[in-house]
């Protein structure tokens, strides 16, 4: 028989809901750190599967080039378009190159590349591992005396963490080039002044800190994707849920950690 | 063999002490529950070296959960799983992983790696756990595939195979490392009677030609009688009886007789 709908019951239900949300949050955090810890542990164990690492690096790095390149280039172009029109009002067009290069290297290239890869790689990691879980392929690995975290998760996390910085470096270059193309080609800025201002205020630390951010974001999105996939339950529907959750969670965690990383690094 | 007929079989010898009568696998008072629902409720079972034990039972009786306990894929809440005198439930994860090399397991739908070809699936454990050369691996893979009557399927992907073929590739993959124990999870489920009989034939051939101990779970009684040395009935998380096929058929238990005849339970008999 259903309990009577009294104010006391409503209060109990309210606290039950808060309790279950808190429990869910702790479970998610626990799974993330379990996968992170296990990945670090198994990375230094034999056998070292070089072919798998290479395959995953191609998948994360080479296959992501078009989407990362396009995103970075158009972001640089829009940045130049927006800032040029704004700076024009107080005759500071010469500083467009500085603004584009600084904002891209320190912030936009790492964050946007990571968000694009959260959609492209984080989701596919969750879907791939989730499908393997629900079709018992992960159990089959255990049954063949193979630790799935070692065989499946380590190469995927390592490849994503290692490939994000080079992708972001490329995004930096393409974004700056996009800004240059729009400023000089479309808006008639002086090319010499544009390059001079681009590099006048750009420090190597700006680039390096962006690349450090990129590595951390790569670790976050790959561990989140693997954790969501590895602990998938509930068949095809569960795989769908895991895939969506992987993208949402890794995007949110990337944006949150971006604040703290920026505070620490700059 | 008449003494083999038991309602909760007492264990011969001390499986942990290893006193010479040690069974290959001993399941000792194993309990397991998921989300508050008890699935296994004090299972006691032993499998002697070289025998083929078939565990039968209805849907939701806990058969798959029990099988996954045997290989350490699931840890019991209480009780012990002892393999060759070694307690899997107390073992370190690394020891558990190494112990699994003694096992070969075939999964319900094959659980083949769908990103790999048939050849790569069967060769997986050989590449991972042995130092065999590629030509030796190829020879072993073909030997395993021949044992399950599959030829010219090396390059095919799992998605291109029929259900029966997938199961047989799963068998070939399970025997590749020459395991001491073979576990079959519902090998006939979803197959037509002719394919199902062909699968049973392959299992019987493996039982007769390989030096292995086999544990199979199924709800298909005709299949169970074809491949079993002993049959165990699991009901509501408990072992109801264990007996050789000819004695199992005539056990007086009402539930077993209804299960054999495929008759529905009376309302008061339903759990």
Percent above pLDDT 90 for chain A: 78
Nearest C-alpha neighbor of B177 from the set B136, B216, B123? B123
Q: What are the residues whose beta carbons fall under 8 Å from the beta carbon of A74, sequence distance 6 or more?
A: A178
Per the model's pLDDT, the better-predicted residue between A100 and B265 turns out to be: A100
Q: Are B46 and B15 in contact (CB under 8 A)?
A: yes
Q: Are B149 and B206 in contact (CB under 8 A)?
A: no
Structure tokens at B205: 């051939």
* pLDDT of B4 higher than 50: no
Chain pair A-B, CB pairs under 8 angstroms: 53
ipTM of this predicted structure: 0.85
Structure tokens at A187: 């808006």
Average pLDDT estimate for A120-140: 95
Which of B107, B134, B179 is most worth mutating to test chain A (most A CB atoms within 10 A of its CB)? B107
* pLDDT of A66 higher than 80: yes
Where do the domains of chain A lie?
7-265
Interchain proximity B100–A147, CB inside 8 Å: no
Beta strands in B150-203 (DSSP E): 181-185
B124 interface with A at CB cutoff 8 Å: yes
* pLDDT of B90 higher than 80: no
Average pLDDT estimate for B238-250: 91
CA-based end-to-end distance of chain A: 60
Where do the domains of chain B lie?
2-111+181-269
Nearest C-alpha neighbor of B210 from the set B135, B139, B130, B148? B148
* pLDDT of B6 higher than 60: no
pLDDT class of B9 with cuts at 50, 70, 90: very low
pLDDT of residue A4: 64
Which is the CATH superfamily of the domain at B2-111+181-269? Answer: P-loop containing nucleotide triphosphate hydrolases (3.40.50.300)
d(CA B210, CA B220): 24
Interchain proximity A144–B100, CB inside 8 Å: yes
Query: Which residue is it, tokens 């008072």?
Result: B29
pLDDT of residue A2: 54
* pLDDT of B14 higher than 60: no
Instruction: Give the closest-approach CA distance of B105 to chain A in angstroms.
Output: 6
A88 interface with B at CB cutoff 8 Å: no
Nearest C-alpha neighbor of B97 from the set A23, A109, A47, A21? A47
pLDDT class of B73 with cuts at 50, 70, 90: confident
Q: Of A135, A145, A147, which is closest to B101 when you measure between CB atoms?
A: A145
Interchain proximity B97–A147, CB inside 8 Å: yes
pLDDT class of B13 with cuts at 50, 70, 90: very low
* pLDDT of B217 higher than 80: yes
- Model confidence pLDDT, tens digit, residues B223-235: 899 999 999 999 9
* pLDDT of B12 higher than 70: no
Give the A window 117-136 contacts with B, CB below 8 Å: 132, 135-136
pLDDT class of B47 with cuts at 50, 70, 90: very high
d(CA B240, CA B224): 16
Average pLDDT estimate for B19-31: 81
Which of B35, B70, B73, B184 is most worth mutating to test chain A (most A CB atoms within 10 A of its CB)? B73
Residues on chain B touching A135 (C-beta within 8 angstroms): 109, 111, 114
Beta strands in chain A (DSSP E): none
d(CA B196, CA B208): 18
Which of B109, B125, B171, B186 is most worth mutating to test chain A (most A CB atoms within 10 A of its CB)? B125
What's the helix, strand, coil split of chain B in %, to 5?
40, 25, 40
pLDDT of residue B124: 94
B70 interface with A at CB cutoff 8 Å: no
Q: Are B46 and B11 in contact (CB under 8 A)?
A: yes
Query: Nearest 5 degrees, angle CA A194-CA A200-CA A204?
Result: 120
pLDDT class of A78 with cuts at 50, 70, 90: very high
Structure tokens at B63: 């058969």
Residues on chain A touching B112 (C-beta within 8 angstroms): 137, 140
Q: Are B71 and A143 in contact (CB under 8 A)?
A: yes
d(CA B120, CA B127): 9
pLDDT of residue B17: 46
Q: Of A47, A132, A139, which is closest to B73 when you measure between CB atoms?
A: A139
């Amino acid at each position: 028989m259903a309990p009577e709908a009294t104010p006391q019951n409503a209060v109990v239900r309210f606290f039950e809901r808060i309790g279950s949300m808190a429990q869910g949050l702790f479970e998610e955090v626990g799974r993330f750190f379990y996968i992170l810890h296990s990945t670090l542990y198994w990375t230094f164990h034999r056998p070292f599967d070089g072919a798998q690492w290479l395959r995953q690096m191609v998948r994360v790095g080479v296959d992501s080039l078009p989407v990362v390149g396009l995103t970075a280039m158009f972001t640089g172009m829009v940045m130049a378009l927006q800032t040029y029109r704004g700076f024009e009002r107080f005759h500071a067009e010469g500083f467009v190159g500085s603004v584009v290069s600084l904002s891209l290297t320190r912030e936009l290239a790492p964050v946007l590349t990571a968000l694009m890869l959260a959609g492209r790689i984080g989701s596919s990691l969750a879907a791939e591992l989730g499908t393997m879980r629900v079709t018992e392929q992960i159990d089959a690995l255990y049954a063949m005396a193979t630790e799935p975290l070692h065989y499946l998760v380590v190469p995927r996390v390592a490849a994503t963490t290692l490939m994000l910085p080079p992708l972001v470096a490329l995004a930096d270059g393409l974004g700056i080039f996009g800004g240059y193309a729009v400023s000089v080609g479309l808006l008639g800025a002086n090319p010499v002044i544009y390059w001079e201002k681009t590099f006048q205020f750009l420090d190597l630390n700006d680039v390096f800190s962006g690349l450090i951010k990129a590595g951390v974001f790569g670790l976050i999105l790959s561990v989140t994707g693997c954790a969501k996939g590895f602990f998938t339950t509930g068949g095809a529907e569960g795989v769908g849920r895991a895939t969506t959750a992987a993208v949402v969670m890794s995007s949110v965690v990337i944006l949150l950690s971006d604040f703290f990383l920026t505070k620490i690094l700059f | 063999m008449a003494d083999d007929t038991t309602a909760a079989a007492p264990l011969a010898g001390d499986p942990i002490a290893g006193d010479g009568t040690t069974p290959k696998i001993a399941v000792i008072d194993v309990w397991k529950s998921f989300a508050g629902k008890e699935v296994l409720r004090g299972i006691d079972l032993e499998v002697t070296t070289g025998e083929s034990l078939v565990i039968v039972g209805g849907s939701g009786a806990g058969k798959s959960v029990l099988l996954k306990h045997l290989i350490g894929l699931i840890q019991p809440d209480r009780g012990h799983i002892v393999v060759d005198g070694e307690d899997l439930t107390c073992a370190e994860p690394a020891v558990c992983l190494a112990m699994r090399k003694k096992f070969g397991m075939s999964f319900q739908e094959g659980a083949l790696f769908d990103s790999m070809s048939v050849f790569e699936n069967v060769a997986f454990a050989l590449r991972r756990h042995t130092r065999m050369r590629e030509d030796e691996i190829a020879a072993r893979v073909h030997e395993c595939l021949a044992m399950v009557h599959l030829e010219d399927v090396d390059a095919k992907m799992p998605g291109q195979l029929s259900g029966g073929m997938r199961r047989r590739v799963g068998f070939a993959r399970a025997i590749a490392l020459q395991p001491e124990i073979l576990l079959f999870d519902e090998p006939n489920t979803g197959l037509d009677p002719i394919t199902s009989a062909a699968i049973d034939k392959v299992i019987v051939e493996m039982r007769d030609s390989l030096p292995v101990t086999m544990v199979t779970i199924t709800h298909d009684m005709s299949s169970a009688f074809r491949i079993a040395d002993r049959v165990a009935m699991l009901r509501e998380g408990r072992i109801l009886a264990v007996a050789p096929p000819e004695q199992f058929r005539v056990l007086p238990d009402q539930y077993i007789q209804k299960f054999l005849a495929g008759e529905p339970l009376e309302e008061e008999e339903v759990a």
